[in-house]
A = this chain, B = another copy of it.
Amino acid sequence: MKIVLDAMGGDFGPAPNVEAAVQTAREFGYEIVLVGRQELVRPLLVQHNTANLHLPIVHASEVIEMHEHPAQAVKTKKNSSMVMGMQLVKNGDADAFVTMGNTGGALAAALFNLGRIRGIHRPALAAAYPTMKGWSLLLDVGANTDVKPDYLVQFALMGSIYAEKVMNVRNPRVALISNGEEETKGSQIVQDAHPLLKAAPINFTGNAEGRDLPAGNADVFVTDGFTGNVILKLSEGMKTMVEDLLRNAFMSSAQGKVAGLLSRDIIRGAMKKRLDYEEVGGAPLLGVDGVVIIGHGRSKARAIRSAMLRAAEAVDRGVVDAIEKGLEALPKTSTSESRVPSAN
């Protein structure tokens, strides 16, 4: 297993990336290629004991910063860690690319350098979403703000394959996020996608409402990247809110402080287990012709390690090939392009 890690990606620079690379190489015997500015990466790497570990550095002189315009940055910064890292995968020199950097940049770099799997309209970013019952997959969470019904069908298929192959869910239940359970509910695009999803070779269970997400009432939740992004960030925000509410409540009285001391670890444990957006680490970019995992900018070493493990699983289980094969089983809907006006 040979994974390229964008050493420059994320809010904390190369340090947590290097730390995670060393850990993962040691723990699993993977070769981790650190792509980034060697004058920054090497001094960090030599601080670790890397004897017998495979941790080559590939020098990339440029960095796509968090707030750059994605497509433009990818086009002009040919020597950036993202572009060079994707090229290593493209050329068969590595199995997967992992980054905690600019999500839009990673998406653009993947599209330009790896390209789409043949037949895929748009790649989708999929997030593992914590629920009462474990983990579900939510996609798209930000790659496509405007979609067409056909895109949603492909997202559903890709999500179903990923859930089955990597998340070990047998015959995953796939639901379409809408503003009501009935199939007549939803935006026009969602209503148009509904019959297509019914006809697709997946275990489509119908529409899901917002409350079905935390309840874990499906294994794969399909939506556009706008709604998916709002869902993900709202969920994170509510977690923060609940933590703050509880902290304030316990601190506001003497009895509360005592109860808080007794309860703190119990509450932390409960919240950690089911409201932890760091555990899983990275979101797979499904539909590009290679394994790409994009993690949170705020990721520390543990989350970066998780993202690399997800990448290794996606490689091992042949997710890209499975999506390619799955597409062949999808009914062709050649009229779709003209059926719904696009806002793109």
Q: Which residues of A contact B (CB under 8 A)?
A: 131-132, 142, 145-146, 177-180, 185-190, 209-215, 224-227, 229-238, 240-242, 244-246, 248-250, 253, 255-256, 258-260, 262-263, 266-267, 269-271, 273-275, 340-344
Besides the contacts A189-B343, A246-B270, what 10 more A-B pairs have beta carbons closer than 8 Å?
A: A132-B244, A145-B179, A179-B226, A188-B344, A212-B237, A214-B238, A215-B240, A249-B266, A249-B267, A255-B266
A250 to chain B, nearest CB (A): 6
Which residues on the B side are within 8 Å of A269 (C-beta)? Answer: 249
Q: Is the CB of B237 within 8 A of A179?
A: no
A216 to chain B, nearest CB (A): 9
Partner of A343, one of B180, B225, B240, B341: B341
Which residues on the B side are within 8 Å of A258 (C-beta)? Answer: 262
Q: A146-B188, A187-B146, A234-B235 are in contact. Are A266 and B256 (CB under 8 A)?
A: yes
- A185, A227, A341, A342 interface centre (most CB from chain B within 10 Å): A227
Partner of A250, one of B186, B212, B266: B266
Partner of A215, one of B146, B185, B241, B245: B241
